[in-house]
Amino acid sequence: MRERMDDRARNPPNWRPGLTSISSALPAHAAPAARVIVRHSALVRVCHWVNAICFVVLLMSGMQIFNADPQLTWGQTTNFTRPFFSLTAREDDNGDPVAGVTTIFGHQFNTTGVLGASPGDDGSLEEHGFPNWATLPHYQDLAMGRRWHFFFAWILVINGLVYFANLIFRRHIRELWPSLKDLRDIPHAIVEHVRLRFPTGDEALHYNVLQKLAYLSVVIAFPILVLAGLTMSPAVDAAFPWLLTLFHGRQAARAVHFLLATYLVLFIIVHLVMVVLSGPINNLRSMITGRYRIKEAQR
Amino acid sequence: MSDERLIRPAPPRLTRRKLIIGLGVGAAAAPLSGCDAGSPQALNILEKAEAVTYAVQRALLGPRTALAREYSPGAISPWFKPNGSTDPEDPTYVALRKDGFKDWKLEVGGLVERPMKLSLSELRALPSRSQITRHDCVEGWSCIGQWKGAQLSALLKTAGLKREARYIAFFCADTLEQTLDNTGKYYETIGLIDAFHPQTILAYEMNYAPLKVEHGAPLRLRVERQLGYKMAKYIMRIEAIDDFKKISRGRGGFWEDRGYEWYAGI
């Protein structure tokens, strides 16, 4: 289990009688020889799922927290007149919300029903940054949102520290760090991905360059996201004033926190799509049991 | 809008009410009283993290009197968002306000050697501090303002804390939520570390002018290393206490009673 992928690539393939029987059940002429490798170490698998659960809770409670002040500005303080991003509701003469408006750099978009104004429990339009169905708890409750957020933030951080220890001390980073050859291969890899042709044979023993870059970006984004979150704390700011300098202010840190969370959401969407397109069962199994079947190149 | 909701919280739901009851024993102070966390059903898993968060913040700030960042006059926000009560209708306050707080006196009592009543001019005579700091609301926004006021440490030294004193409680003139049992009156409590922090002041001046009603006239608290809801406005009485469980709903403050953290460092 502890061997690294590099070793696996060099050594004879990791045959596992129990699993190879799966492929031998296929008609002999159609079955390309299949190798089954241990793609993810137990530690990486556990970290992945703990992280996934934490991220969902943090995202939903984060949207609850964001709803208490659904706008973003740069710098130390809030620019109430010109936030660069805001979710607001347009109201009629009675003060009832009639439309949800998303404002990005002064450009307004009608997002009624989802952002700015969305149906409440009774179905009528209410002013919410993010809709009830996306937040935790589902009704407006900043205090509870914070409680969920901070609890799961601790789990995320502890889980992240374990993952980073593995990354560094057990050199997991080598599986993610792209080589020069990898980088030169980016255009080719993009073309192959667009054609939904994924690496096979020995090439599939490693992450391809796009995977490496995507996973690496997540590994980098998480600590920055956590630091930006901490910079919103007046106590942490007093202890480490350099954080305010690093992020150009508390509101800027809030914006960075939000934007990185958005980036991670985009990553997860692409991630899930790729999981489905490149063999969902095989991929899921590799993240649960570790076993990943290498599809051999067609000759 | 968003603060409107904070001022008038949605009708309590069973789950939330249960939760608040379940939290029971001033669990915000859990790190201070780790052993009396209460019966198993009173334990709220999520709130467990609050004790960790508090302990870590304390450890980070340590015994050092790390100061909150102070800004230059140019950084002062053109508009400082008033929040919570902005125009208290409580009769006592309205009467005091009518003649410019001439008759207002700050009561200092509880576990002190020398209970006293101080007028605004007497407060102004105490050692003061002026600071331009960032006000961070729990909702998420920030404003920068200049504050000048008597250092709470100076006042507490004058009054003389008794040995049993552990917290300083601030009782305010404003009722932020109408309730039958008077638990809607604003109040706050802070620990002695923050009470004696040099930036902890009883502000009577904001942005180089007397404190306005919307920001807590005649006197508000500044606790710069915590969130805005700790900074009680319209202060009438200060008490040194050994425990806040007996006050109001027992969690150490108006918003704390409604599910927010007692230590509002994050």
pLDDT in tens, chain A (299 residues): 344 444 444 444 443 333 333 444 444 455 556 789 999 999 999 999 999 999 999 999 999 999 999 999 999 999 999 999 999 999 999 989 999 999 999 999 999 999 999 999 888 999 999 999 999 999 999 999 999 999 999 999 999 999 999 999 998 999 999 999 999 999 999 999 999 999 998 889 989 999 999 999 999 999 999 999 999 999 999 999 999 999 999 999 999 999 999 999 999 999 999 999 999 999 999 999 999 999 887 65
B-chain residues near A141 (CB < 8 A): 10, 16, 259
Q: By the CB < 8 Å criterion, does B79 face chain A?
A: yes
Output the pLDDT for position A299: 55
Q: Is A160 helix (H, G, I), strand (E, B) or coil?
A: helix
Output the pLDDT for position A295: 86
Q: By the CB < 8 Å criterion, does B45 face chain A?
A: yes
Output the pLDDT for position B48: 83
Q: Is A90 helix (H, G, I), strand (E, B) or coil?
A: strand
Q: CA end-to-end span of chain B, whole Å?
A: 23
A-chain residues near B62 (CB < 8 A): 239
Q: A75-104 burial, b for 16+ CB within 10 Å, e for fewer?
A: bbbbbbeebebbbbbeeeeeeebebbbbbe
Residues of B (115-154) whose Cβ lies below 8 Å from A: 134, 136-144
The dihedral built from the CA positions of residue A126, A132, A138 and A144, taken in this order, carries a sign that is negative
Judge: B2–A69 Cβ closer than 8 Å, yes or no. yes
Output the pLDDT for position B25: 31
Q: By the CB < 8 Å criterion, does B74 face chain A?
A: no
**Residues B53-79, mean pLDDT to the nearest whole number:** 91
Do residues B63 and B39 touch, judged by C-beta distance below 8 A? no
Judge: B50–A238 Cβ closer than 8 Å, yes or no. no
Q: By the CB < 8 Å criterion, does A251 face chain B?
A: yes
Q: According to CATH, what is the number of the domain B68-258?
A: 3.90.420.10
Q: By the CB < 8 Å criterion, does B20 face chain A?
A: no
Q: By the CB < 8 Å criterion, does B7 face chain A?
A: no
Output the pLDDT for position A22: 41
Q: Is B137 a residue whose pLDDT tops 70?
A: yes
> How many Å separate Cα A78 from the centre of its chain?
27
Q: Is the peptide bond before B218 cis (omega within 30 degrees of 0)?
A: yes
Q: What is the pLDDT of residues B102-112, one digit of tens each?
A: 999 999 999 99
Do residues B35 and B58 touch, judged by C-beta distance below 8 A? no
User: Pick from A140, A154, A235: which is nearest to B5 by CB?
Assistant: A140
pTM of the model: 0.85
